Structure 1
């Protein structure tokens, strides 16, 4: 069973991908800060003059706790909505997918040997097998992450990594891209791996049109692996729209790119 392609424009995230990731990951430690720091400060502030200082500290940390609870509630609703959609479409959900890491011996998945794959959903969409979930890795002691979408391809592709600049801090931290000047894309894109002519061939006008109506995402491919790289913490509508757009990108892949992939694969054997 497959979903109908999404034709309307989907609103993109308000925050940059790395900021959104840090915000959600950091929310859990607010409670630790509260008990380790805030309580002594509040007690001291209420006992000493002027007492309004203690009340201000108390109010500030109450706001932080309220914000943390709001994030947790929204994440819970997001997970529940995705689980309901996946169930209706006959897809399978699992807590982790460590075996998937062996499928991606290329950037950005090969940087951290201790990387993790969690919240995996697998199934078929528009005739293609797929695996999607969250990828967590550490770069220079920073814990980063993004969502991935691994789509089955019948023929090999050349090594290529193309990302919108907003995703670079979580999926290509520390790398300098080659800017891609392509009209019509929903964001600025850069080439982080592979040849520029291959990237320009993939992002031809019809492919750009398919990408224009969804929040910007990138991809990394090599051989018989094509993995879309997406911002974390997306809602179900956005995730389904980007799934359709990624399928469109493969359906519209030029023959010259497939041939380049076959030539590259021949040199690896």
Structure 2
């Protein structure tokens, strides 16, 4: 099975990653939205025809139930499709590992001590060991999360955290970004950790061409760890396209960035 879906550009998610997460998780946001619509319905019902109030509220409640059920069905289909892909590619799937968070002692993985990693897949792709799954943590009193993709690197990388603006609320809400000026991307990218000159080196012309073909994603790296940060609840085709794009990003990493990583590693491990 090829990890590259047919076609060129892969369509992105319809909702912002933080909204999609909260809706899928059935968080308080869902019920707040329900009440925001239910209250005007009650008012309109009382003004027009009081006997309709109960039916209007019941109908809106059924909409909420249908929406929740639809999300659960869609998530089940995504899980089955991913399980099929994992099996065909010869990878392994596990529920999670509570000690896995310690693998990444840098933002955004070290911010919340109670963060969780689950739905973990391990395998090998294009000569690199991979570890991917879902990361859940608390961001400003909200439970949010994203998908991650840890790829093996042969040389150390400098500390960097680059994210598109859509992923900032789920992966860097407490940090102040430095906006980068890069042409050719569908979203603005921001630097949350590391040097601006190195970030711009990473987002070179060829890397931008790769990123432009898939839904926006970012990454965080430090030393021998490179972790792509991705929106949650992707279909298997998008996940595999992201995997190829992340591998391409590493293949296109400029030598100057690797050298900066080696200098950083020598300084911090001496």
TM-score normalised according to structure 2 size: 0.90
1:64 aligned partner: 64
Partner residue, 2:103 = 103
**Aligned residue runs from structure 1 range 227-242, under 5 A:** 227-242=227-242
Deviation at 1:97, TM superposition (A): 2.4
Unaligned runs of 5+ in 1: none
1:86-106 CA-to-partner distances (Å, cap 9, x unmatched) read 100001000112232111000
Structure-2 separation of matches of 1:76 and 1:23: 15
- Specify the alignment match of 2:55 in structure 1: 55
Rounded to whole Å, the distance in 1 between the matches of 2:163 and 2:196 is: 13
The TM-score, its normalising length taken from structure 1, stands at 0.90
Task: Report the 3-state secondary structure (helix = DSSP H, G, I; strand = E; otherwise coil) of the residue aligned with 2:245.
Answer: helix
Contact 2:218 2:229 in 1 (8 A): yes
- Taking a change above 3 Å as real, the CA distance of residues 98 and 2 of structure 1, as seen in their structure-2 partners, is farther
Correspondence 1:111-260 to 2 at 5 A: 111-260=111-260
RMSD of aligned C-alpha atoms? Answer: 2.3
**CA separation of 1:224/1:7 partners in 2, compared to 1, >3 Å: closer, same or farther?**
farther
Residues 237-262 of structure 1 deviation map (CA, whole Å, 9 limit, x = unaligned): 10000000000000111111000000
**Matched-pair contact (CA < 8 Å) for 1:2–1:126:** no
Per-residue CA deviations over 1:104-124 (Å, capped at 9, x if unaligned) read: 000000000110001001100
* Structure 1 ranges of 4+ moved more than 3 A: 1-7, 27-31
Distance 1:178 1:28, change over 3 A: closer
Q: What SS is found at the alignment partner of 1:155? A: coil
Tell me if structure 1 keeps the 8 A contact 2:22–2:30: no
2:173 aligned counterpart, secondary structure: coil
| Counterparts of 1:160 and 1:54, CA distance in 2 | 55
1:30, distance to aligned residue in structure 2 (A): 7.1
For these two proteins, the number of residue pairs brought into alignment is 257
Instruction: Determine helix, strand or coil for the equivalent of 1:98.
Output: coil
1:83 equivalent in structure 2: 83
Deviation by residue 1:208-237 (Cα, 9 ceiling, x = unmatched): 111110000000000000000000010111
Residue segments in structure 2 that go unaligned for 5+ positions in a row: none
Secondary structure, in 3 states, of the residue corresponding to 1:86? helix
| 8 Å Cα contact 2:217-2:228 kept in structure 1 | yes
State the SS of the aligned residue for 1:133: strand
Report the Cα distance in structure 2 between the residues aligned to 1:4 and 1:145, rounded to whole angstroms: 25
Checking the alignment, whether the CA contact within 8 Å between 2:101 and 2:117 is kept in structure 1 is yes
Q: Secondary structure at the match of 1:166?
A: helix
